[in-house]
Structure 1
Amino acid sequence: MTGVRRQPIRHELPWSYRAVIGAVRPVLMGITRRDWSGGEHLPPQGGFIVASNHYSEADPVMLAHYLVDHGHAPFFLAKSSLFDVPVLGTALRSLEQVPVYRTTSRAGDALVAAREALAAGRCIGIMPEGTLTGDPELWPMRAKPGVGRLALTSRAPLVPVAQWGAQHVLGHYARRPGNLLKRPVQQVSAGAPVDLDDLYDRAEEPSAHVEATRRVMVAITAQLAALRGQTPPEEPFDPGRRPEATP
């Protein structure tokens, strides 16, 4: 299994974020093994967006581990409700993570904050599905178009990242960790930034946001298929589709 020698963080971080890295990274190194690839696709400088699949409550931590060791500490877009949870909300604010206010008049605030972070050279992490996948085999499901909107309106590189293995640390919707004595392997692979050149002139069109999002999810799914050595479904699981009635 392969890892990388940790690289220095390439942008300024709040002291609390550096403290969390110092406390959490040694734990992750002790309870998991790494099989990482594609680090050469992460832009060496300037802000960029990382979009990843989401199938375990632990996978944001694993993605952050991968990015931090490549010199990029991610700032995640997180559900605003998490900022109301005692202790967790205080931690998220201290770490300068970005709240997402869904279906409210403040829904656009997250994009404004994210664009400002990108302009400042930060790495923005997004799980475009918005919640844990509903696919029974844990393949990526149909995503929300926010990542496409952010990518087109900011013109920041959009890097697809696939990961697999976090479910062995914390299962799908599980609240207790798995058998960490086995030191499960965490596979993370970054791909080349998604080509969106033909969509930038339509940056304010919802249909362009959907198409940009579709492209990054196709890339993530293809990378995940390579990690798993399996064939994904022809169409992604659609959480909004009603199940067919049984005759």
Structure 2
Amino acid sequence: MPRRRIGFWYRFAAVICKPPLVLLLKRDWRGMENIPAEGGFITAVNHNSHIDPFAYAHFQYNTGRVPRFLAKSELFKKGFVGAAMRGTGQIPVYRESTDALSAFRAAIEAVERGECVAFYPEGTLTRDPDGWPMTGKTGAARVALQTRCPVIPIAQWGANELLPPYSKKPRIFPRKTHHVLAGPPVDLERFYDREMTPELLKEATEAIMAAITRQLEEIRGEKAPDTPYDPRRERIEQRRKTRAQALREGIQDDDRAAAQEEGLGK
């Protein structure tokens, strides 16, 4: 299937975005040979800075296979931003949809048209204290198993040093390096021809996240934690601690009340 032309809007966005990216970030980009030359595919990318979508898009643009990001549908309705989102072929996600597969139908259609669809499987900036990928959401795995397209794991590092997670103040000096390593397609064949249960999607997602993490280990020259940070598990643990604290405070209040009553009774 022939690749889609980049088009005016993507080239216009590149003219605006590339100069400041080139100025602010040196580049160490590897693995471009793993980006398919033809046909639809998914890239699954880690997320550790508010500016890394731009830095990653720069890498992807230079491969000749521009990414189509998933974005909330409201952005497609707002003036110049909406026109740019539509013109660059980004994919609206309708959050009001109650059917999980319907929310990604446009992504499936884009892959089947031969597009590159970019997923941030974590769904948000990583909350891992050391910047490692968290557990992922199942959207990328769902689209991959539905279409049986290649899933290219991509790790990036460096944009987070320019603009740390949840920070509004960039650290411009010294000039940072944006490292990108694109790996070979994730082997998902063992998940084909099986019922798409939550357990299957979770297992396929873990395979995708493990591949991204291996790429990031190579970039950083470090070993990632054996267990990825899980924000859901963290929330559960925090609620448990809050309940335990409330229980302890309740017991202490009861003890104080009992002591006061005993004092009054003497």
Q: TM-score range by the shorter chain?
A: 0.7 to 0.9
Partner of 1:213: 205
Partner of 1:225: 217
TM-score, L = length of structure 1:
0.87
The 5 A counterparts of 1:97-246 are 97-102=90-95, 104-105=97-98, 107-179=100-172, 181-202=173-194, 204-241=196-233, 242-243=236-237, 245=241
Note the residue ranges of structure 1 that are not aligned, 5 or more in a row: 1-8
State the 1:86 CA deviation.
Answer: 6.8
Partner of 1:45: 38
Partner of 1:3: none
Deviations 1:120-145 (A, max 9, x none): 21111000000111111111111111
- Structure 1 runs of 4+ aligned residues shifted over 6 Å read none
State the 1:186 CA deviation.
Answer: 0.3
Aligned residues: 238
Percent sequence identity over aligned pairs? 43
Report the RMSD for the aligned CA atoms in angstroms.
Answer: 2.2
Choose 1 or 2 for highest CA Rg: 2
TM-score, L = length of structure 2:
0.82
Q: 1:71 to 1:153 in 2, by over 3 A?
A: same
Question: 3-state SS of the aligned residue for 1:17?
Answer: helix
State the 1:68 CA deviation.
Answer: 0.9
Q: Distance in 2 between the 1:82 and 1:135 partners? A: 28
Q: 1:174 to 1:80 in 2, by over 3 A?
A: farther
Q: Which amino acid aligns with 1:58?
A: I
Range 195-204 or range 217-226, more displaced: 195-204
Note the residue ranges of structure 2 that are not aligned, 5 or more in a row: 246-266
Q: 2:53 aligns with which of 48, 60, 65?
A: 60
Q: Name the one with the larger helix percent.
A: 2
